[in-house]
Structure 1
Amino acid sequence: MTTQRIDAATQKGRIGIVHLGLGAFHRAHQAVYLERYRGRTGDGQWGVSSANLRRGASLVDSLAEAGFRYHVAEYRDSDNVTVREVGAIEETLFTGQSPDGQWGRDLEALLARLSNVKTRIVTLTVTEKGYFLNPASGELLRDDPMIQADIAAPQAPRTAPGILVEALKRRRDAGQAPFTVLCCDNMPDNGERTRQAVAQLARVHDAALADWILERVAFPCSMVDRIVPAMTEQDFAALKTLGVDDANAVVCEAFSQWVVEDRFPEGRPAWEEEGVTMVADVAPFETMKLRMLNGSHSLLAYLGSLADIDTVFDAVSNPVYQALLSAYMRQEAAPTLDMPKEIDLDAYADSLLARFANDSLRHKLQQIAMDGSQKLPQRWLQVAEANLACGRDTACVALGLAGWIRYTQGSTLAGRAFRVDDPMAEQLEALHQRHGDDACALVDAFFGFEAVMPQALARSEYFKQQVLDAYLTLTERGVEPAIAELAAQGAR
């Protein structure tokens, strides 16, 4: 094995960025870009304070005990790895619920950090559900218990939108310039969606504050891309053979991409010097990634899980699944994209298939399958809408949607039970209980589920029939026969 070791930069500086969502992706992506930048330039004004908002207190404390240093193993394949020590994070905080049921252990420290004039950027990776927006309409979920708690006690917020509202209020009241809010989650138009979530929540109590946010706060969009699986005991054991015994370590692929809309009124790091693409419009790149990479991942997640396949690598090692992804990306996703002329979508599809086949990563399909109700509108359903409007094929999305419907029953086709990890899991389970084995009624019910299904698709009898046919083939004959039937239809 070829291993390169890179130590963290030794200097410490002041904190200029606050990050909400101290997860593996942040530590393997944004923090790595900053680590490289600070190590190369010595620029000490962009240290990071990173907070977990709901769970993960043990990680917050473990990083503090380790002096905020941890390792990232970047694998090109199982024989080539770069092990990088990262020290860009200089503070970790926890504002979630403690074991005794109390909320907000470090909340005041976080709000003070956000209110500090030296904090100029706030980044977020709190997943789609962390913005509390209806995935179909984009409206704030005001009836959600977490949002209700923020409405009842706005000075003790629990959610990311609530924390941003309170911090921005403090800055406005102090006559300070607002920080820039940079969403790094996989959502279409993610900056604007974050802006709407924050402004809608602010308007509940203070219309003037909401207007100030809409007028003064920059919410640039971004697209992030790096495959970062959840750590396993196998990963930790492999790192120990490389001399890394680090409970906070992260494993990821070598590939990394970050495209950012260049709107930072209070300044930013020179990210472009570390390979970040700074652009006027992120939307084409964001949509390309959501529909081709994330859409393909979701196909594998639901269909592969139903077939008791464990990881992305295991699935794409099967030519049947690889052919499905190729057909989906080239025949359904790519035709819906309007990209700059220098972007070769065929080459992009090839690169994704190669990345999925990285034998050093064990990216669990069940991890990808989380929160489907929040993800599928932008990953698949917009693809289906665009293709139906132009008379193009929608068979791959129809099969994927059939797979997701069956997946939300909570068991594989062979009967192995699993937990459906989704904020709408109870509503989805109720649809299954209500309609039982009546496939036609079940598909009808999912098409009527307005929180997920766009109206244009809900009204399409053609697409509904495609999904029903795929569901019947899937449940009666299995995943691979369903994929083979799709391929046969394409051949005809």
Structure 2
Amino acid sequence: MTHFVEAPHIACDIGIVHLGLGAFHRAHQAVYLARHLERSGDTAWGLCSANLRSSVGLVDGLRAAGHRYHVAEFTDSNNVTLREIGVMQETLFTGRDSTGQQGRDLEALLTRLASSKVRIVTLTVTEKGYFLSPTSGNLLVEDPMIEADIASPDAPQTAPGILVEALARRRAAGLSPFTVLSCDNMPDNGRRTRNAVVQLAAQRDSELADWISHRGAFPCSMVDRIVPAMTETDFARLGELGVDDPNAVVCEAFSQWVIEDDFPQGRPAWEAEGVEMVADVAPFETMKLRMLNGSHSLLAYLGAIDGIETVFEAVSRPEFRTLLRRYMMQEAAPTLHMPDGVDLERYADDLLARFANDSLRHRLAQIAMDGSQKLPQRWLQGAVARLQDGHEVPCTALGLAAWIRYTSGVSLDGRQHEVSDPLASRFLALHERHGDAPEALVAAFLAQEDIIPVALTAQQDVVDAVTDGYRRLITTGLAASLSTL
């Protein structure tokens, strides 16, 4: 059954700017805003979305389509809601264009951010887009892109740099700072965003940094919706439904957004669209990171090194479902402290059902990207808490072993794959140096203190479990390794 929802043509003021014009943003934050506009007719919260690094074609394609596109929300392969989104008013591109020119629309973006009508900036730039240390949370001031923003603050290349320059312009114009709402999968994402922006501002002007720190708002949030990268199969499916839209997005029907309610300049009435406005996002954020995202990463590394392509393929195998349930209920759930009424066992059941949605081709390679940035939040912090309570973490240990193998760029049967990670070259060097000696290789990876907490590697049982898991994977294969759990 197909249900069509057509967007009305309503002109809006731009009140929200989004940094990171990707599929997730188009299927999540933009959908909530579109529903708000359609329900209330409130025209103060039109959307400007900017791509900072790649895909100028998407920006230009949306412009050509009047910034309208479709989202296909699949409950399963037989039931879909096809929604037209019409809340986007402007799309911008600040990365390098086809000629190599940097920042085509940078000035337009900074001008837009300095407008008095813009009161909220949302972000989906991935963990690495904040340029924060995964362990300390401090700004990576020696990163070349951050160094460039410090040297040329009026021509920023990074999301923190763009925010600092825009806030500096607002301060000079006598305007209040906009609220900055991170929607990326990081613990304490609002406070981490504040750290990045304030620390970068301090490199430029201590008074500006103090102004941002004292007057700016950086609420935390938790977002949840499975949005796979589009494939030719997805576009063909939409074509069968009568939709010819190169900017369309396919996703699951489920969607969740939990936001810390701290918006001094005002906000849309998101709660009317099902958004949970709360005083403390942390429990929900940690639950999602450790149970959903942690499970996804287990599937990504263990499945990918065995030639499995999608989440659906993996969870269709009983041994993977057993692994995920054991991980969620024995290693992740006991580390969580949830409000009354949250049933973690039901949450685990719901996650397994969502993973088994046969309408989505959520590629493991997409989930496996940037593991060095993701694993501290998804696995390792929870593992440390579990170990401190005197318990073992065998699923996490096997996952770490699979991640180490994955970073070699070679699957268990010898097929090559791309390793998309900011530290990919470092990992390759470790494999080249220690590849024939599993104990030395695992030790070298576990010694990467900017990724692996010392509290984890101080436990010899954990080191032994990861080493044994790695050796089993490369000698007996995945099925035998899973059977040991």
1:145 aligned partner, one-letter code: P
* Match in the other structure for 1:68: 67
Corresponding residue for residue 222 of structure 1: 221
Q: Distance in 2 between matches of 1:115 and 1:455?
A: 43
CA deviation profile, 1:83-131 (whole Å, cap 9, x unmatched) = 0000111100000011222111000000000000000000000000000
State how far apart, in whole Å, the 2-side matches of 1:114 and 1:344 are: 41
SS in 2 for 1:84: strand
SS of the equivalent of 1:243 reads: coil
Kept in 2: contact 1:9–1:35 (CA 8 A): no
Give the aligned length. 485
1:295-444, aligned counterparts within 5 Å?
A: 295-444=294-443
Q: CA deviation at 1:383?
A: 1.4
Alignment of 1:431-470 (within 5 A): 431-470=430-469
Matches within 5 A, 1:50-65: 50-65=49-64
Q: Separation in 2 of the partners of 1:355 and 1:233?
A: 22
Asked if 2 retains the 8 angstrom alpha-carbon contact of 1:229 and 1:363, the reply is yes
1:22 alignment partner, SS class: coil
Q: CA deviation at 1:458?
A: 2.4
Please give the per-residue CA displacement for 1:50-94, whole angstroms capped at 9, x wherever unaligned: 000011110000000000000000000000000000011110000
**Which portions of structure 1, spanning 4 or more consecutive aligned residues, are displaced by more than 6 angstroms?**
none
Deviates more, 1:152-161 or 1:434-443: 434-443
Counterparts of residues 3-82 of structure 1 (less than 5 Å): 3-82=2-81
Q: Distance in 2 between matches of 1:92 and 1:435?
A: 47
Amino acid at match of 2:361: R
Deviation at 1:9, TM superposition (A): 2.3
Determine if contact 1:94/1:107 at 8 Å carries over to the other structure: yes
In 2, the alpha carbon distance for the partners of 1:256 and 1:154 equals 37
- 1:184 corresponds in structure 2 to 183
2:97 alignment counterpart? 98
Q: Does the 8 Å CA contact 1:55/1:96 hold for their aligned counterparts?
A: yes
**Which moves more between the two structures, 453-462 or 319-328?**
453-462
Structure 2 partner of 1:490: none
The residue matched to 1:176 in structure 2 has which SS? Answer: coil
What residue in structure 2 maps to residue 116 of structure 1? 115
Q: How much has 1:205 moved relative to structure 2? A: 1.6
Instruction: Write out aligned runs for 1:242-257 (5 A).
Output: 242-257=241-256
- Which amino acid counterpart does residue 380 of structure 2 have in structure 1? L
Instruction: Tell me the CA shift for residue 362 of structure 1.
Output: 0.3
5 Å matches for 1:191-210? 191-210=190-209
| Structure 2: gaps of 5 or more residues | none
| Alpha-carbon distance, 1:455 to partner | 1.6
Secondary structure class of the residue paired with 2:43: coil
TM norm structure 1:
0.98
Aligned to 2:269: 270
Deviation at 1:393, TM superposition (A): 2.2
Shift of 1:480: 1.3
| Mapped partners of 2:432, 2:202: distance in 1 | 39
Q: Which amino acid aligns with 1:362?
A: R
* Greater displacement, 306-315 / 94-103: 94-103
User: How far apart in 1 are the matches of 2:178 and 2:145?
Assistant: 24
**In the TM superposition, what is the alpha-carbon distance from 1:190 to its structure 2 partner?**
0.2
Cα distance in 2 between the residues matched to 1:54 and 1:102: 12
Question: What is the one-letter code of the residue matched to 2:219?
Answer: P
Which residue type is aligned with residue 8 of structure 2?
A
Is the 1:68–1:89 contact (alpha carbons within 8 Å) kept by the matching residues of 2? yes
Letter in 2 for 1:310: E
8 Å contact from structure 1 (residues 284, 339) kept in 2: yes
How far does residue 285 in structure 1 lie from its aligned partner after superposition? 0.1
CA RMSD of aligned residues (A): 0.6
CA distance in structure 2 between the partners assigned to 1:349 and 1:188 by the alignment: 20
**Contact kept in structure 2, 1:6 and 1:83, CA below 8 Å:** yes
Please give the residue correspondences for 1:276-287 in structure 2 after superposition, counting only pairs within 5 Å.
276-287=275-286
- Residue 489 of structure 1 aligns with which residue? none
- How far is 1:314 from its partner? 0.3
> Identity, % of aligned pairs?
66
One-letter identity of the residue aligned with 1:178 = P
Does the 8 Å CA contact 1:9/1:38 hold for their aligned counterparts? no
* Structure 1 residues without counterparts, runs of 5 or longer: 487-492
In the superposition, the TM-score normalised over structure 2's length comes to 0.99
Q: Is the 8 A contact 1:470 1:482 kept in 2?
A: yes
2:212 corresponding residue in structure 1? 213
- What is the alpha-carbon distance in structure 1 between the residues aligned to residue 102 and residue 340 of structure 2? 50
SS at match of 2:285: helix
Report the secondary structure of 1:45's partner residue: helix
The one-letter amino acid of 2:374's match is K
